[in-house]
Structure 1
Amino acid sequence: MPASFAPATARTIPLHVIEESALASWCAALPDAQAAWLKATGFSAALGEVALLPDTQGGISAAVAGFGTAAKRARGRFHIAAAAPKLPEGTYRIATFPEAGDPAQEALGWLLAGYCFTRYRDRGGLKARLVAPDDVDAARLETIAAGEFLTRDLINTPAADMGPDALEEATAGLAARHDAAFTSIRGDALLDRNFPLIHAVGRAGPQAPRLLDLRWGKMGPALTLVGKGVCFDTGGLNLKPAGSMGLMKKDMGGAATVLGLARTIMTLKLPLRLRVLVPAVENSVASASFRPQDILTARNGLTVEINNTDAEGRLVLADALALAAEERPDMLVSMATLTGAARVAVGPDIAPYYTGSDKWAHVLGRTARQEADPVWRMPFHTPYETMIEPGIADLDNAPGGGFAGSVTAALFLRRFVAEVPYIHFDIYGWQPADAPARPKGGVGQGARALLAALPEMLEI
C-alpha cells in the first residue's frame, strides 16, 4: 500500500475507536440490534480488538476498534495500527475518537502499518485504507511515512542487491528527484582525497569503497547528516560467528535512516542547507583486508590502532565526520548501527543518542514522546577517554575490558567533529518481531524525533 491516505471523496465505512471505560455508554446509544450483536461477539474494547456492525442488508454498517486502557496503551504505541490489519478491505473514516488519543500519531501509525517489502515476493499487505482525520497535516504525515518506507526498503534489501553500487544508485536517484547535487569518491581516489579509513575498511570488498555526498538547499542553517553505510559486515579478519553475521545486511541502517530523513526534509522543503555523507563499504575478508594491530592515520591526522577489524563502523564514520566538521555546520548528526553494547543497554526499540547540548537533549526528549519515536540520552563520559587511548597510537578502535562499549564508541567519534555541535545516534535499525506499524524487518529510529526537533534546535 502506498504511504498515502485514501481520498476524502471515497465511499467510507465509519470507524469508532472506543476505550474500555467508555464502551457501555457508547453501546447504550446504539440501535438495540447492533448493541446486542456487539455483546454477542464478546467485544470488550481491548487494545487492538476489532468488531464489525452489520446493516439490515447483511453488509458492514460500521467498524469498532478497541482503544483499551491508559495502562495498556502505555506499553506500546500506534494503537489503531494494531486494529488496521484485522479490518476487511475498504476505506475507513474515523467517526469516534477518544480524547486520550493523538489523531496525528494514530493516523501516521496506520500509514506505517501499510508497509510491506515486496521486492522478491508479493506478500499482500494492508487492505484497509484510512481517510485522513480532520485537523491533521495529511501531507506531512504522508511525507514522513514515505521517508520511513525508503529507510525500510534499503535495510531490507540483502547485500547481494544493496552493496555500495546500489546504495550509491539509491542516493544519486534521491538527489536527482529533489534537484540536489551529488558526488561520489570511489576506490583509490579515496586515498588521493585523504579518506584513508574509508578506503582501508572497504578495499577488500567486491565493490569499491566510496564516500557519497548529497547537498540540497541554499539558505538557512547548515545541517549535515552522516550515515554508516557498511552494506555487509563479515567482521573482517576478526570474523563474526554465524549467529552474529546473520543480520549484517542491516549494517547500513544508519545510511538508510539519514537518506529517509533527507527525503522527508527535502520534500517538506525545510529552510536549511542539507548535506548528507555516506561512507559506503563492505567489510570483507580477502588478501587486501586491513589487519588487527595495523595503525591507520585518519583524515584529521589522528592515528588509530586496529584492535578489532569488526569495529569498522567508527572508522568509516571518522573520515566522514572529519570532512563534515571542516565546514563547521550548525548541526552535525551521525546515525549508525554501531555497537552491540547499545542493544544490551536499552534493547532494540530505543535509539540511544549522545550530545553535549542539554538544550538539544531536552527538545529531543519532548519530540520523541510526541512522535512515538523513543530515544534515550547517553553520556559523553569524558573520564572514559583514557579507555580509547592505547599508547602506541592516538586512538584504539576497540578498547578491551568489555565495559561501556557504546560510550567509548561515541567518544571515539567525538574526536573527529572538532567543536561542531554534534549528536550521535547508536541505532539498531531492525524490528525483531511484528508490532503495530512496525513489521519485522528494517526500521528507522530517531528520524521522526529529530525531524520534529529541528525547528527548535536550529531556530528555523
Structure 2
Amino acid sequence: MPPVFALPNDAAVPLHVLDQDSCADWLEQQPQHISHWAQANGFTGACGQALLIPNTDGKPALALAGYGTGAQRARRRYVLAAAAEKLPQGTYAIASGLSHDALNIECFGWLLCGYRFDRYREQSAFKANLIAPAGVDAAAIESLVAAESLTRDLINTPASDMGPDELQRAAETLAEAFDASITTIQDDALLAQNLPMIHAVGRASDLRPRLIDMNWGASGPKLTLVGKGVCFDTGGLNLKPGASMGLMKKDMGGAAAVLGLAKAIMAANLPLQLRVLIPAVENSVSGSAFRPGDILTSRKGLTVEINNTDAEGRLVLADALALADEDKPDLLISMATLTGAARVAVGPDLAPFFTDDEQVATALATNAEPSADPVWRLPFHTPYETKIEPGIADLDNAPAGGFAGSITAALFLRRFAGDSRYVHFDIYGWNPTPAAARPKGGAGQGTRALFAALPELLNL
C-alpha cells in the first residue's frame, strides 16, 4: 500500500522544524530542560538533525527537526524527510517552522520516506508517522504519493516479471480502478492496423509486441500521454555491452511515468479527456530481429533507415505519436528513457524536455520548483534536422557523430507529432544514489511538474 498520513491522535508528538540560523534563539526561549537537552545532544538545526526530547516523566514531550540554512536547502530536496528518517517510532504533528508552501512539499517527502519496494524481500517499515497539518490537502498529497509509488514499483520490477504482458496488466488494473476503457493491439494485428515500427522492434521476442490504448473522461480538452514501454532492451543486433544492459529493466520508465501521471489525473478527477498510449515491446535478438541497414515504413508513411538497432525507443514512439496526432489532442506529451546524451547533458536528477510552445515551457518552469520536480528545457534546434535525414530514406534513427544526441532524437519524434501541441521528456527514471525520500531505484520525473501545470495549459 502507498504511504498515507496517520489519523489524528491526541498522543502525537509535537514537532518543531528549526532553521539553523534561528535555532539558538528558539532554544533560548524554551524551558531550561528543553534547551539543555538540545545543547547536550548537539542539536543546532543543521539539515537532517532529529531529536526527541522527553518530559520530566521520561515520556516524549516534543521533537525537533533541523531545517538547515537557505543555502543548504537549495542543494537538497525533501529536507524534512532527512530528519523524519532519524526519528524514533511514533506519530508526529508539525507544530511550527514551515510555511504553507513548504508544508505541502515537505509532507509529500515525509510520506515518500515510507515507500518500500518489498516484492522480493521483506523491508523494515518506516517508523515515523505524520498527521496531516492543517491547511494542506491531505488527499491530494496522498494521491501524488500513490502515483509516484506506482511509477517506482513498475520501474523497480525486473523484466522477468515486468514484460509486455505484465505492463499491459498494470495498465488494465489502473483502468479498472478508475472506470477507464482499455484496448490492446498485439502482434500481427499491429501490421493490420498500420503500426509497423512497433511490430518491427518487438517481433524478435517471444513476448509479443503490442500497443496499449487507455481512455478516460467524456468531456473537456484532450490530453494524450505516450510512454515508451521497452520492457527490456538488449540493444538488438547492435548488442549492448553487459554494463550498459544492466539497468535496462528501467527502459519502460516512460510508460511507468505516464501511468503514474494518469493515476494522479484520474484520482483528481480533472475535467479532461485522457488518452494513454504505450507501445510495449522487448528489444531482443533472434532470427527475426530487425537489422542495421533495414528501412522501415512508419505509420505516418515516412521511411526510416536503421543505423543502430539500439535506437529503438524512438521507433515505437513514432508510430504511437502518429496515431495520437490523428486524434488532434489539445496537448500531446511523450515520456521516454530515450538517450544517454540527455544524461551527459543534465545528469540523472534533471528531466530535460523539448517543446516549441512557450506557454508550456513557462508553465513547466514555474511549477517544477514548487513540485520538487526539477526540469530543464532543451531546444528543438531546427538546423539539426539535416542530421536525421540520411538521403536513402526520409529519416535516420541513429545519426552518426554522436553530437546533440538528445536533440536529434527529439527532432525525430517531432516529425511524427504532426501539428499537435507537443512536449517531449527524455527522462532517466532512476535514482542512482540514495537520498532522503528517494531510495536508489525507480523514480518519477517530470510528472508532478506536468500535473501542476495542466490546469494552466488546458484551461481547467
Residue 387 of structure 2: aligned partner: 387
Q: Could you say which residue in structure 2 is the equivalent of 1:241?
A: 241
Map Cα deviations across residues 45-89 of structure 1 (whole Å, 9 max, x no partner): 100111111112222211100000000000011110111111111
Taking only the aligned residue pairs, the percentage that are identical comes to: 63
1:295 maps to 295
The reply to whether residue 222 of structure 1 matches residue 222 of structure 2 is yes
C-alpha separation in 1, matches of 2:369 and 2:27: 32
1:125 to partner: Cα distance: 3.0
RMSD: 1.0
Are the structure 2 counterparts of residues 98 and 267 from structure 1 closer, same or farther at C-alpha, using a change threshold of 3 Å?
A: closer
CA distance in 2, matches of 1:337, 1:237: 20
Partner of residue 111, structure 2: 111
Q: Which amino acid aligns with 2:392?
A: I
AA of the residue aligned to 2:429: G
Per the alignment, do residues 170 and 250 of structure 1 end up closer, same or farther by CA in structure 2, a change over 3 Å counting?
A: same
Say if 1:19 and 1:98, in contact at 8 Å, map to a contact too: no
Q: How many residues align?
A: 460
Q: Is the 8 A contact 1:84 1:126 kept in 2?
A: no
Residues 18 and 67, structure 2, Cα contact 8 Å, conserved in 1: yes
Q: Please tell me whether the aligned partners of residues 332 and 420 of structure 1 are also in contact (alpha carbons under 8 angstroms).
A: yes
Whether 1:359 aligns to 2:359 is: yes
Paired letter, 2:86? K
Whether the 8 Å CA contact 2:188–2:199 is kept in 1: the answer is: yes
Residues 54-63 or 156-165, more deviating:
54-63
Matched, 1:320 2:320: yes
| 1:183–1:83 CA distance, 2 compared to 1 (3 A) | same
SS in 2 for 1:20: coil
What is the identity, as a one-letter code, of the residue corresponding to 1:279? P
Does the CA contact (< 8 Å) of 1:204 and 1:289 recur in 2? Answer: yes
Aligned equivalent of 1:457: 457
Determine helix, strand or coil for the equivalent of 1:296.
strand
TM-superposed CA distance for 1:262, in Å, is: 0.3
> C-alpha separation between the residues in 1 aligned to 2:10 and 2:181?
40
Superposition deviation, residue 34 in structure 1: 1.9
| Code of the aligned partner of 1:187 | D
Check the 8 A contact 2:101/2:370 in 1, yes or no. no
Give the letter for the 1:140 counterpart. A
- Indicate the SS of the match to 2:325: helix
Give the corresponding residue for 1:19. 19
8 Å CA contact 1:307–1:397 kept in 2: the answer is yes
CA distance in 1, matches of 2:306, 2:108: 44
Measure the CA separation in 1 of the matches of 2:405 and 2:10.
53
Bigger mean CA deviation after superposition, 161-170 or 112-121: 112-121
Aligned residue in 2 for 1:331: 331
**Partner residue, 1:264:** 264
The answer to whether the Cα contact below 8 Å between 1:18 and 1:64 also exists between their aligned partners in 2 is yes
Q: What is the Cα deviation at residue 44 of structure 1? A: 1.1
Residue in structure 1 matched with residue 3 of structure 2 by the alignment: 3
**Who is 2:74 aligned against?**
74
**TM-score (norm. length: structure 1):** 0.99
Instruction: Give the aligned residue type for 2:119.
Output: R
Partner residue in 1 for 2:375:
375
- Once the two structures are TM-superposed, the CA of residue 3 in structure 1 deviates from its matched residue by 2.4
Q: Which residue of 1 aligns with 2:254?
A: 254
Decide which moves more: 361-370 or 8-17: 8-17
> Is residue 257–residue 444 contact of structure 2 (8 Å, CA) maintained in 1?
yes
Q: Distance in 2 between matches of 1:238 and 1:343?
A: 21
Tell me what 2:438 maps to.
438
For structure 2, the residue ranges without an aligned partner over 5 or more in a row are: none
Secondary structure of the residue aligned to 1:148 is: helix
CA distance in 1, matches of 2:105, 2:261: 18
Question: How far 1:130 sits from its partner (Å)?
Answer: 0.5
The secondary structure found in structure 2 opposite 1:415 is: helix
Which amino acid in 2 is paired with 1:78? Y
Question: Is contact 2:2–2:145 with CA below 8 Å preserved after alignment?
Answer: no
1:60-119 Cα distance to aligned partner (Å, 9 max, x none): 211100000000000011110111111111110001114497110111111112111000
